Amino acid sequence: MTNNKLALTQGNTERAIIIGGSMGGLLTASVLSEYFTEVLIIERDELPEKPMDRVGTPQGFHPHRFTPRLKIILERLFPGYNDVLLENGASELLNKYVCQINQYGKITIGPNPRKDTACSRALMEWTIREYVKKISNVRFLVKHDVIGLQTTADHTTVTGVHLRDRTLKQEKTLTADMVFDISGRGSKLVPWLQQFGYEVPTPDRLKVALAYSTRRFRIPAHLAEKWDVIRIAGHPSTETFTGVLSTIENDVAEVLLYGLGGRYPSTKPDEYLQEAARLSNPLIAEVIQELEPITAPRGFRVPELIRQRFEQMERWPAGLLVLGDAFCNVDPIFGQGITMASVEAEMLEKCLQEQKKQPVSNFEQYALKRIQDAIEPGWWLNCAADLAWTGVEYVGQPLKGIDFASKYLEIYLKHATVQQNLKQYGMYWAVNTLLFSPRVLFNPEMIASVMASASTKDRQWYNEQTQGTGQFTDLQLEERIPSFSRANFIELSPQR
Ligand SMILES: Cc1cc2nc3c(=O)[nH]c(=O)nc-3n(C[C@H](O)[C@H](O)[C@H](O)COP(=O)(O)OP(=O)(O)OC[C@H]3O[C@@H](n4cnc5c(N)ncnc54)[C@H](O)[C@@H]3O)c2cc1C
In angstroms, the CA 243 to CA 311 distance is 36
90-117+209-302 adopts what CATH topology? D-Amino Acid Oxidase; Chain A, domain 2 (3.30.9)
**Residue nearest (by alpha carbon) to ligand 1 atom 12:** 337
**Which residues, including other chains, have CB under 8 Å from residue 256's CB and lie 6 or more apart?**
62, 63, 212, 213, 214, 243, 244
Amino acid identity for residue 244 in this structure: V
The pLDDT tens digits of the residues spanning 392-419 come to 999 999 999 999 999 999 999 999 999 9
Mutate to test the pocket of ligand 1, among 18, 22, 228, 328 (most ligand atoms within 8 A of CB): 22
Q: Are 70 and 33 in contact (CB under 8 A)?
A: no
Distance 230 CA to ligand 1 centre (A): 25
Cα separation of 334 and 48, whole Å? 28
Ligand 1, atom nearest to 188 Cα: 41
Res 8 pLDDT > 70: no
Summarised one tens digit per residue, pLDDT across range 44-61 is: 999 999 999 999 999 999
φ, ψ of residue 205 in degrees (nearest 5): -130, 130
Helix, strand and coil content of the chain, in percent to the nearest 5, comes to 40, 25, 40
Q: Which atom of ligand 1 is nearest to the CA of 20?
A: 34
Identical fold, 15-64+124-205+304-383 and 90-117+209-302: no
In angstroms, what is the span from residue 332 Cα to ligand 1's centroid? 11
Instruction: For residues 114-131, give the mean pLDDT.
Output: 97
Rounded CA separation 129/431 (Å): 28
Give me the mean pLDDT over the 186-205 stretch: 98
The DSSP-derived string for 313-340 is -S---BTEEE-GGGTB---GGG--HHHH
- Alpha-carbon separation of residue 55 from 45, 122, 139 (angstroms): 7, 12, 21
From CA 162, how far away is CA 172, in angstroms rounded? 6
**Per-residue pLDDT for 323 more than 50?**
yes
Determine phi and psi for 47, rounding to 5 degrees.
-90, 125
Coil, strand or helix: which one is 458?
helix
Residue 494 has a pLDDT of: 47
pLDDT at site 5: 57
- Cβ < 6 Å from ligand 1: which residues? 19-25, 42-45, 56-57, 59, 62-65, 145-146, 182-186, 212, 300, 324-326, 332, 335-339, 341
Task: Please state the rounded mean pLDDT for residues 190-203.
Answer: 98
Q: How confident is the model at residue 2 (pLDDT cuts 50, 70, 90)?
A: very low
Q: Contact at 8 Å (CB) between 265 and 257?
A: yes
Pocket test for ligand 1, best of 17, 41, 44 (most atoms within 8 A of CB): 44
Concatenated DSSP letters of 278-311: TSSSSHHHHHHTTSEE-S--EEEEE--EEE--GG
Say what the pTM is.
Answer: 0.96
Q: Mean pLDDT, to the nearest integer, of 160-184?
A: 98
Per-residue pLDDT at 496: 38
The pLDDT tens digits for 218-254 are 998 777 778 899 999 999 999 999 999 999 999 999 9
Model pLDDT, residue 3: 41
Q: Would strands 97-102 and 227-232 be described as parallel, antiparallel, or unpaired?
A: parallel
Residue nearest to atom 49 of ligand 1 (CA): 22
Mean pLDDT of 450-457: 95
Q: Hey, where are the domains in the chain?
A: 15-64+124-205+304-383, 90-117+209-302, 400-480
pLDDT band at 73 (very low <50, low <70, confident <90, very high): very high
Q: How far apart are CA 330 and CA 201, in angstroms?
A: 19
Find out whether the peptide bond into 79 is cis, omega within 30 degrees of 0. Answer: no
- For all residues of the chain together, what is the average pLDDT? 95
Q: Is residue 461 predicted with pLDDT exceeding 50?
A: yes
**Residue to substitute in 30, 42, 47, 59 for testing ligand 1 pocket (most ligand atoms within 8 angstroms of CB):** 59
CA of 25 to the centre of ligand 1 (A): 9
- The residue nearest atom 35 of ligand 1, judged by CA position, is 20
Rounded to the nearest whole angstrom, what is the distance from the C-alpha of residue 310 to the centroid of ligand 1? 19
pLDDT of residue 7: 63
Over residues 460-480, the mean pLDDT reads 93
Written as one string, the DSSP assignment of 118-156 is E--HHHHHHHHHHHHHTSTTEEEEESEEEEEEEE-TTSS
> What is the pLDDT confidence band of residue 1, given thresholds at 50, 70 and 90?
very low
**Residue nearest (by alpha carbon) to ligand 1 atom 3:** 332
| The CATH number of domain 15-64+124-205+304-383, selected from 3.40.630.30, 3.40.50.1950, 3.90.950.10, 3.50.50.60 | 3.50.50.60
Contact 160, 174 (CB under 8 A): yes
Whether pLDDT at 146 is above 60? yes
